[in-house]
Amino acid sequence: MKVTVVGAGNVGATCADVLATREIANEIVLVDIKEGFAEGKALDIWQKAPIIGYDSRTVGVTNDYSRTAGSEVVVITSGLPRKPGMSRDDLISTNAGIVKSVTEQVVKHSPNAIIIIVSNPLDVMTYQAHLTSGLDRTKVFGMAGILDTARYRAFLAEALNVSPKDIQAVLMGGHGDTMVPLPRYTTVGGIPVTELIGKEALDAIVQRTAVGGGELVKLMGTSAWYAPGAAAAQMVEAIVRDQRRVFPVCVKLEGEYGMDGVYLGAPVILGKNGIEKVIELQLNDDEKALLETSRGHVKEVMEALDKMNG
């Protein structure tokens, strides 16, 4: 069982570290373009194995995709991080080129791999990987919803002073500012969240979640990595162990929610074949309107990428 993580920066290295610590694969290959960078990160994680007590072997390589051959799952985190004051859309042209070349190498050496995109801007990078790979939508999808729901659940746990383990939630739509909150589907130990917190406080938490990435950029001067890396690893685990977990992921909609050919966050069942099923919720009019706004934003960015690709 082999899993590859492309990009040994903070997010990629965190993802590899969580995969190793949780023994999700026998071998985790970390790839980067910077000489010695992936090798160093992988060696550091491997040297932690005797301390924590895990068997997963981490290996780092510089731009050598032959070492990734036969990977079951590949996580792509490559690309430039967002800098303060930079919009997501500023990143498109640079990161699309990176994601395209990485995807070509991945498909060449691991044609049966399931590909998880973490690169930003997430929705449109998933689209780019899909275009480049030519794979079915069940095999190429993006990590965003797990991160957004984790932030939402963490903020709720803090506000209610309860364990985050007991909070379940679903968010839809684009990653970040245009995400679609679904408080109706948020529960705390099975209790609807609306019975435990007032509307004003809940709205404030939803708003904080929507700009959650930006909040961290302002604080640290760079994008988050612990939560995004762990979120990607959780998706890998669901696939490798065929857990059939229900997660919100960025997927190409093909008629669901009355939308076609757009990449949006939606709940799916994640198992050994990748996306086993896209779950279609019965949204109310307000939720549908928010999802339509999100769709419009993502479609605009997709069209911008189409123009760049000529």
Q: Decide if pLDDT at 309 tops 90.
A: no
On whether both 150 and 127 belong to a single domain, the answer is no
Q: What's the pLDDT tens digit per position in 29-74?
A: 999 999 999 999 999 999 999 999 999 999 999 999 999 999 999 9
Mean pLDDT of the chain: 95
On whether both 82 and 160 belong to a single domain, the answer is no
Per-residue pLDDT, 176: 77
Binned at pLDDT 50, 70 and 90, residue 82 comes out as low
Per-residue pLDDT, 94: 87
Burial of 190 (0-12, 13-18, 19+ CB in 10 A): exposed
Per-residue pLDDT, 89: 64
Binding residues for substrate: 82, 88, 120, 151
Last residue of a domain, one of 85, 119, 143: 143
On whether both 274 and 298 belong to a single domain, the answer is yes
Q: Order of strands, edge to edge, in the sheet holding 187-188? A: 167-168, 187-188, 191-192
CA–CA distance, 302 with 137 (Å, rounded to integer): 16
**Choosing from 109, 130, 175, 297, which is the catalytic residue?**
175
Binding residues: 7-12, 32, 82, 88, 95, 118-120, 151
On whether both 94 and 152 belong to a single domain, the answer is no
On whether both 191 and 274 belong to a single domain, the answer is yes
CA–CA distance, 275 with 13 (Å, rounded to integer): 25
Q: Decide if pLDDT at 310 tops 90.
A: no
Per-residue pLDDT, 142: 98
Last residue of a domain, one of 80, 115, 143: 143
Q: Decide if pLDDT at 277 tops 80.
A: yes
On whether both 8 and 152 belong to a single domain, the answer is no
Last residue of a domain, one of 83, 111, 143: 143
Binned at pLDDT 50, 70 and 90, residue 86 comes out as low
297 is catalytic: no
Q: What's the pLDDT tens digit per position in 211-245?
A: 999 999 899 988 899 999 999 999 999 999 999 99
Q: What's the pLDDT tens digit per position in 90-146?
A: 778 889 999 999 999 999 999 999 999 999 889 999 999 999 999 999 999 999 999
Per-residue pLDDT, 83: 66
Length of the chain: 310
Per-residue pLDDT, 177: 81
The domain of 253 spans 144-309
Q: Decide if pLDDT at 20 tops 90.
A: yes
| CATH number, domain containing residue 182 | 3.90.110.10
Per-residue pLDDT, 22: 98
Q: What's the pLDDT tens digit per position in 145-173?
A: 999 999 999 999 999 999 999 999 999 99
